Structure 1
Amino acid sequence: MMIDHNWHLGHSVLEVQPLGPLTEEDFQSLEAQVDPVISEYGRLSGLLINAEHFPGWESFVALVSHCRFVRDHHKHIRKIAVVSDHRLLGVMPRLVDHFVSAEVRPFSTGEYQRALDWLGEPG
């Protein structure tokens, strides 16, 4: 598995961290983690994408799986924080904000705790 994940704030915020090129199986594994929580609580307060080093995707199928995961889950996530100094990922929140219902914000790698605090804020 090329995505590590950790739960924060009583399973209300999921942190994901790519460890290598993302695969189709990574998104199937994430669905297995996220779907039961969404079923029980209706939604996640937040998703923290910890992408200090973004390795890309293993294949086109993996990219399609990523898009499908976003399509199927964005309505159930209130906020998304992208923590990265990668230039493209810093711009990505402004681009995807038009396509997802979650509020999306970029944070630099030095702002990890600030991002987690923002995800835990009510509202």
Structure 2
Amino acid sequence: MITKIGQEGNVLGYEVAGKLTEQEYHDLYRELRAVIAEYGSVSVLGRLPDDSLPGMGLSAIDDRLRFAREHLTDIDRAAVVGGNRVAEWVTRASDTMTPIELRHFHAGAEQQAWDWLRRARPV
């Protein structure tokens, strides 16, 4: 399930838990595209409320890769808050492979994550 938890200009936050559906990804990408169209870029916070990584079907993985290819330079920063050591490792590994600044924050540091995202680019 993807639940929007906040937005300030081009900085959006979502809580992501459980298995995600293709429709949830579709709705998320539509919202992110609208913010990119309005502001020129977007920064995203993803809160993981438990110790697992969200699951997704194969079609959702394909949609995720397509969105990333299309908007790689439109995403300034992404913060992952919470999750387990695997989430932290995946975030760090992804940071080295994309032009997007990615950072993992422990669950108690969510406010720091929001502050870091807001400093990405003035809106």
TM bucket by the smaller chain? Answer: 0.7 to 0.9
CA change 1:17–1:84 in 2 (3 A) is: same
Letter in 2 for 1:4: T
Residue aligning to 2:108: 110
The TM-score normalised by the length of structure 1 is: 0.84
CA change 1:58–1:106 in 2 (3 A) is: closer
Give distance in 2, aligned partners of 1:89 and 1:83. 9
Residue aligning to 2:44: 47
Q: Secondary structure at the match of 1:97?
A: helix
**Alpha carbons 2:72, 2:100 under 8 Å: kept:** yes
Unaligned stretches of 5+ residues in structure 2: none
Letter in 2 for 1:117: D
Residue aligning to 1:93: 91
Letter in 1 for 2:89: V
Residue aligning to 1:78: 76
CA RMSD of aligned residues (A): 1.8
Letter in 2 for 1:47: V
CA change 1:55–1:92 in 2 (3 A) is: closer
